[in-house]
Amino acid sequence: MDEKAKIYLEKTLEIRFSEVDMMNVVWHGAYPLYLEDAREAFGAKFGLSYHKYIAENIFVPVVELDMKYRRPLSYGMTPTIRISYRPTEAAKIIFDYSIFDPETGDEYMSARSVQVFMDRDRNLMWESPEFYSLWKKKMGLE
Protein backbone atom coordinates (compact mmCIF):
# COMPACT_ATOMS: atom_id res chain seq x y z
CA MET A 1 0.00 0.00 0.00
CA ASP A 2 1.47 3.37 -0.94
CA GLU A 3 1.57 6.30 1.48
CA LYS A 4 -1.47 8.01 -0.05
CA ALA A 5 -3.64 4.97 0.64
CA LYS A 6 -3.05 5.05 4.38
CA ILE A 7 -5.93 7.33 5.28
CA TYR A 8 -8.33 4.96 6.97
CA LEU A 9 -10.55 4.47 9.99
CA GLU A 10 -11.62 1.38 11.87
CA LYS A 11 -14.70 1.04 14.03
CA THR A 12 -16.51 -1.78 15.78
CA LEU A 13 -19.91 -2.88 14.51
CA GLU A 14 -22.52 -4.42 16.76
CA ILE A 15 -24.74 -6.80 14.84
CA ARG A 16 -28.31 -6.19 15.99
CA PHE A 17 -31.18 -8.64 16.01
CA SER A 18 -33.10 -6.45 13.57
CA GLU A 19 -30.36 -6.96 10.96
CA VAL A 20 -30.55 -10.77 10.77
CA ASP A 21 -32.96 -13.12 9.04
CA MET A 22 -34.55 -16.30 10.36
CA MET A 23 -31.24 -18.17 9.78
CA ASN A 24 -29.54 -15.66 12.14
CA VAL A 25 -27.51 -14.32 9.20
CA VAL A 26 -27.20 -10.61 8.47
CA TRP A 27 -29.53 -9.71 5.62
CA HIS A 28 -27.54 -8.56 2.55
CA GLY A 29 -29.36 -5.21 2.54
CA ALA A 30 -27.88 -4.27 5.93
CA TYR A 31 -24.33 -4.13 4.58
CA PRO A 32 -24.74 -0.80 2.69
CA LEU A 33 -25.84 0.71 6.02
CA TYR A 34 -22.62 -0.51 7.65
CA LEU A 35 -20.68 1.16 4.83
CA GLU A 36 -22.64 4.38 5.34
CA ASP A 37 -21.81 4.30 9.07
CA ALA A 38 -18.14 3.93 8.15
CA ARG A 39 -18.30 6.88 5.71
CA GLU A 40 -19.91 9.05 8.37
CA ALA A 41 -17.25 8.12 10.94
CA PHE A 42 -14.48 8.73 8.36
CA GLY A 43 -15.93 12.14 7.50
CA ALA A 44 -16.20 13.12 11.17
CA LYS A 45 -12.59 12.15 11.84
CA PHE A 46 -10.99 13.58 8.71
CA GLY A 47 -13.11 16.68 8.02
CA LEU A 48 -15.04 15.33 5.06
CA SER A 49 -18.48 15.08 6.64
CA TYR A 50 -21.92 15.27 5.11
CA HIS A 51 -22.36 18.52 7.05
CA LYS A 52 -19.43 19.91 5.05
CA TYR A 53 -20.99 18.85 1.75
CA ILE A 54 -24.28 20.47 2.73
CA ALA A 55 -22.51 23.69 3.76
CA GLU A 56 -20.76 23.71 0.37
CA ASN A 57 -24.08 23.14 -1.48
CA ILE A 58 -22.82 19.86 -2.90
CA PHE A 59 -24.48 16.46 -3.25
CA VAL A 60 -22.28 13.34 -3.17
CA PRO A 61 -24.44 10.42 -4.33
CA VAL A 62 -23.11 6.89 -4.38
CA VAL A 63 -23.01 5.84 -8.06
CA GLU A 64 -21.18 2.52 -7.69
CA LEU A 65 -21.26 -0.06 -4.92
CA ASP A 66 -19.41 -3.35 -5.27
CA MET A 67 -19.70 -5.84 -2.40
CA LYS A 68 -18.22 -9.29 -1.98
CA TYR A 69 -19.65 -11.48 0.75
CA ARG A 70 -17.19 -14.03 2.12
CA ARG A 71 -18.58 -15.30 5.46
CA PRO A 72 -21.90 -14.69 7.21
CA LEU A 73 -22.28 -12.29 10.11
CA SER A 74 -24.69 -13.23 12.91
CA TYR A 75 -26.56 -11.53 15.73
CA GLY A 76 -24.33 -10.52 18.63
CA MET A 77 -21.07 -10.46 16.69
CA THR A 78 -18.79 -7.41 17.00
CA PRO A 79 -16.66 -7.31 13.86
CA THR A 80 -14.51 -4.36 12.81
CA ILE A 81 -15.13 -2.34 9.68
CA ARG A 82 -12.19 -0.62 8.02
CA ILE A 83 -12.77 2.18 5.52
CA SER A 84 -9.82 3.31 3.40
CA TYR A 85 -9.72 6.36 1.17
CA ARG A 86 -8.52 5.56 -2.35
CA PRO A 87 -6.82 8.56 -3.99
CA THR A 88 -7.90 9.49 -7.51
CA GLU A 89 -7.40 12.52 -9.73
CA ALA A 90 -11.00 12.25 -10.95
CA ALA A 91 -13.81 14.35 -9.46
CA LYS A 92 -15.05 11.52 -7.26
CA ILE A 93 -14.55 9.94 -3.86
CA ILE A 94 -13.60 6.27 -3.72
CA PHE A 95 -13.54 4.15 -0.57
CA ASP A 96 -12.52 0.55 0.03
CA TYR A 97 -14.02 -1.38 2.95
CA SER A 98 -13.38 -4.57 4.84
CA ILE A 99 -15.49 -6.12 7.60
CA PHE A 100 -13.37 -8.58 9.55
CA ASP A 101 -12.87 -10.38 12.85
CA PRO A 102 -10.35 -8.28 14.79
CA GLU A 103 -8.99 -11.34 16.63
CA THR A 104 -8.51 -13.78 13.75
CA GLY A 105 -8.36 -11.40 10.78
CA ASP A 106 -11.01 -13.47 8.97
CA GLU A 107 -12.80 -11.27 6.45
CA TYR A 108 -16.61 -11.32 6.25
CA MET A 109 -16.99 -8.94 3.32
CA SER A 110 -15.16 -6.41 1.24
CA ALA A 111 -16.56 -3.53 -0.75
CA ARG A 112 -15.82 -0.43 -2.79
CA SER A 113 -17.95 2.66 -3.23
CA VAL A 114 -17.73 5.56 -5.66
CA GLN A 115 -19.36 8.91 -5.05
CA VAL A 116 -19.53 11.81 -7.48
CA PHE A 117 -20.10 15.52 -6.95
CA MET A 118 -23.30 17.23 -8.03
CA ASP A 119 -24.38 20.82 -7.63
CA ARG A 120 -27.73 21.74 -6.04
CA ASP A 121 -29.38 21.56 -9.47
CA ARG A 122 -28.20 17.93 -9.68
CA ASN A 123 -25.69 18.63 -12.42
CA LEU A 124 -22.66 16.37 -12.43
CA MET A 125 -19.49 18.26 -11.59
CA TRP A 126 -16.58 17.31 -13.86
CA GLU A 127 -14.04 19.13 -11.69
CA SER A 128 -13.57 18.58 -7.97
CA PRO A 129 -15.10 21.33 -5.84
CA GLU A 130 -12.58 23.73 -4.35
CA PHE A 131 -13.16 22.58 -0.76
CA TYR A 132 -12.39 18.97 -1.78
CA SER A 133 -9.20 19.94 -3.60
CA LEU A 134 -8.12 21.90 -0.51
CA TRP A 135 -8.94 18.89 1.69
CA LYS A 136 -6.79 16.64 -0.49
CA LYS A 137 -3.88 19.09 -0.24
CA LYS A 138 -4.28 19.30 3.54
CA MET A 139 -4.24 15.50 3.75
CA GLY A 140 -1.11 15.31 1.56
CA LEU A 141 -2.93 13.69 -1.35
CA GLU A 142 -1.91 16.19 -4.06
Q: What pLDDT digit, counting tens, does each position of 86-95 carry?
A: 999 999 999 9
Using an 8 Å Cβ cutoff, are 32 and 97 in contact?
no
Are residues 23 and 75 in contact, defined by beta-carbon separation less than 8 angstroms? no
DSSP structure class, residue 126: S
All residues at 6 or more sequence positions from 102 whose CB lies less than 8 Å from its CB, including other chains: 12, 79, 80
The confidence score (pLDDT) of residue 141 equals 86
Mean pLDDT over 29-54 rounds to 95
pLDDT at 30 over 60: yes
Alpha carbon distance 142, 128 (integer Å): 13
